[in-house]
Amino acid sequence: MKFFIDTANLNEIKEAHDLGVLDGVTTNPSLMAKEGIKGADNIRAHYKAICNIVDNNVSAEVISTDFETIIKEGRELAKIDDKIVVKVPMIKDGVKAIKKFSSENIRTNCTLVFSAGQAILAAKAGASYVSPFIGRLDDVGTDGLELIAQIVNIYNNYGYATEVLAASVRHTMHLIQCAELGADVATCPLNVIIGLLKHPLTDSGLEKFLADYKKVNG
């Protein structure tokens, strides 16, 4: 499973990268706004700064909703760096744009996916990644993990090349369950990745080892 970090914060991205397990970054307009990044030039410069940290797979989201403008904006984003994956919403013109980008060898991430039907459309259009938002489904009383299982099963049935990118991952059990279900990627905040390190028996075991060493060696 690939680990992406869901943030626009450069320090968090560097920390995750330095840990040695980071495969990419996902961002969106909300995350950019959270970091105070505004204006087209500043946003593009920030994407470039992210690309300079990570090895690959930086999802940069379009803000347009009509086909022609999505294409124009997506092409501009793709020019920033070869690591850019153009993030496109699951809407009618978005699906059309994904098909067009696919024909131009521009990688895409179809975002805001909440059903297996939407995931099928994204795969048929040639999306590189499909992003089901499991946490947001949980918020409205629907099992987000069941959607991951559905999509993985459907994609395996037909050999779709689109990778399942579990998004809106809220905690470590979300991430582990996505891995069990066969999601190709999980994107999550830094604290979720760091959370995988932690176990009370690891802490107590290390404390005992060090205490025993000190007892004998002073």
Cα separation, 39 vs 32, in Å, equals: 10
Helices and strands, number each (H, E), in the chain: 11, 8
User: Who contacts 89 (Cβ-Cβ below 8 Å, separation ≥6)?
Assistant: 62, 65, 110, 111, 112
Among 48, 79, 83, 87, the one annotated catalytic: 87
φ and ψ of 132, to 5 deg: -75, 135
Is 208 noted as a catalytic residue in this protein? no
Which two tokens mark 70?
């999505």
- Catalytic residues, by residue number, are 87
